[in-house]
Structure 1
Amino acid sequence: MRRTAKTTWILARAGFRRYSTYRLATLAGLTTNTVFGLIRASILLAALASAGTSIAGYDAGEISSFVWWSQGLIASVNLFQWSEVATRVRSGDIAVDFARPIDPQVAYLATDLGRAVLQFLARGVPSILIGAVTFGIALPQSPWLWPLALLSTLLAVLISFGCRYAVNLTSFWLVESRGPQLAYVVVSGFLCGLYVPVHWFPDWLQLIAHATPFPSMLQTPIDLLSGRASPADALPLLLTQLLWATAALALGQVMTRLGRRRLEVQGG
């Protein structure tokens, strides 16, 4: 276990260093985050103004917080398409991952955690600061909610990775997996609260959303960070995230083992 922990730490550092080399891409991502944050904030604030009242309890300050906290988390949680594992399955390079002394899911997760830290520091924090200066943002209701909010963010990253990893592994059974990957990005982005808060959904759509892990990937950490969730709400929200993270990672383990049995690599 000590050797595995050391290897995991090395892989996480490697993931951090790998993505830190793309400085121009990171700067472009920060610019995109900021521009889209300004656009989203303007549109949602206009919606509030046209309604003439708060929507689902969101006033102007809360909707501004929702926008900028989500812009700060979007890159770390990674709600975009990711196909690294699927590409390795198609090429047969996944056989090399299976031959290594560390579980492939653990190795990719460690690398993804390093990426998430880099993206949060390089893109997330500056985006949040820009939002705080331009529109203003709210903070957690209590100081002791800060560590719980950070834990919620970590769980959101785990859930997102588990889901993306499982979608990538469909390549073992499908000739082309870009369809499932694209469908996942569209559905998860909508149901996680990327476009509008999940609390704005009609009741029937909220039920559908909460039957999936997607709100736990973005809406939950935003609620804790923006002060919408009270201290009494924190533990149930974290427990829900923990259950989804466990389920997503367990699904990845099952699919990895089934894929290992199915894999056939030809050539020399």
Structure 2
Amino acid sequence: MNRFKHNWLICRSVAEVTYKEWSAYRTHSLVSVIVGPVYFMVQYFIWTAVYGGQATLGGMDLHQMIRYFGATALIGYLIMDFADWNLSMLVRTGKFLTFHLRPVHHRSFALYQKLGHRALGFLFEFLPCLLIFILIFGIDMRPASFPWTLVSVMLAFLMNFYVNYTIGLTSFWLVQSGGIRSAFMLVSGIFSGALIPLDFFPHWLQVTQLFLPFQYIAYMPAMVFTGHYSLGGLELSIPEAVAMQGVAVLVMFGLCELVRRRAMKQFTAVGA
């Protein structure tokens, strides 16, 4: 119990400091309030034209499609992560040494930072865009099940963090992981479902996504939001889908831990 309380105090302190630090740059978040709705508006016009007079596409009608993209946009604000870039910078400059000597595990520290950063994003990005989607676009943004959607978004938050942190760990071998980071962002943008629902991909590619981390970052929480999940011929109830997402997060955590331990053997404090 004392250890849990100690970790909680560290988590709260790091999150609060990060929140205050990034509050000085909250105009950056306000830019997202413009970019998000513009991107959504583009998607709205594109899919309205694609549907034409058709009732459904990929098992979704136009109303469901609009809600899906509204959900992915809002979820993106909640789970946005920069752990890979930050870790790469620390390794490249040698500043990781200061974290390596601290009693707090750097991965935990980075996670606590993300909590503070996304708390700011919730206030200055998520809530304004939610109001814009509801009041201006007239979109029904009520989730099919708020508790399950909340759990799914939390799991997506962790999945995105562990994946990005693992990408950042490659810096211990490459020093500069910018190329891998850029390639991953491109692949993730396509196969996470943020640009197009995964139902539109070929069947074999949909099945492949069940074993990759991308769909658990955006597609699955968005489908949990809409109340129906199916991919690659697999249809699951919302509790089953969230359970599968939880297992995927545990697997990703295990992979991240394996890479981290190997990375620590490579650590030479370059630039320190």
TM-score (norm 2): 0.89
CA distance in 1, matches of 2:36, 2:190: 17
For 2:254 and 2:20, how far apart are their aligned partners in 1? Answer: 28
**Cα drift, residue 177 of structure 1:** 1.0
Residue 253 of structure 1 deviates from its aligned partner by 2.2
Q: Which amino acid aligns with 1:125?
A: L
Runs of 5+ in structure 1 lacking a partner? none
**RMSD of Structure 2 on Structure 1 (CA):** 2.1
Give a deviation string over 1:34-69, Cα, whole Å, max 9, x none: 11111112112211116x231122111111101111
Find the residue that maps to 1:119 and give its secondary structure: helix
Number of residue pairs matched by the alignment? 263
1:161 maps to 161
Residue in structure 2 matched with residue 85 of structure 1 by the alignment: 87
Residues 1:244 and 2:248 are matched in the alignment: yes
Q: Whole-Å Cα distance in 1 between the matches of residues 134 and 205 of structure 2?
A: 31
Instruction: Find the counterpart in structure 1 of residue 191 from structure 2.
Output: 191
Partner Cα separation in structure 2 for residue 199 and residue 243 of structure 1:
22
Question: CA-to-partner distance for each residue in 1:96-123, whole Å, 9 max, x for gaps?
Answer: 1111111111110111122223213321
Identity over aligned residues, as a percent? Answer: 24
* Mapping for residues 1-268 of structure 1, pairs under 5 Å: 1=3, 2-49=5-52, 52-78=54-80, 82-133=84-135, 134-141=137-144, 145-229=145-229, 233-265=237-269
What residue identity is the alignment partner of 1:75? Answer: Y
Amino acid corresponding to residue 84 of structure 1 in structure 2: N
**Contact 2:228 2:237 (8 Å CA) reproduced:** no
Structure 2 letter corresponding to 1:107: F
**Which shows bigger deviation, 255-264 or 211-220?**
255-264
Q: 3-state SS of the aligned residue for 1:102?
A: coil
Structure 2 portions without partners, runs of 5+? 231-235
Measured in 2, the distance between the counterparts of 1:132 and 1:267 equals: 50
In the alignment, residue 110 of structure 2 is paired with which amino acid? Y
Structure 2: how far apart are the matches of 1:137 and 1:163?
31
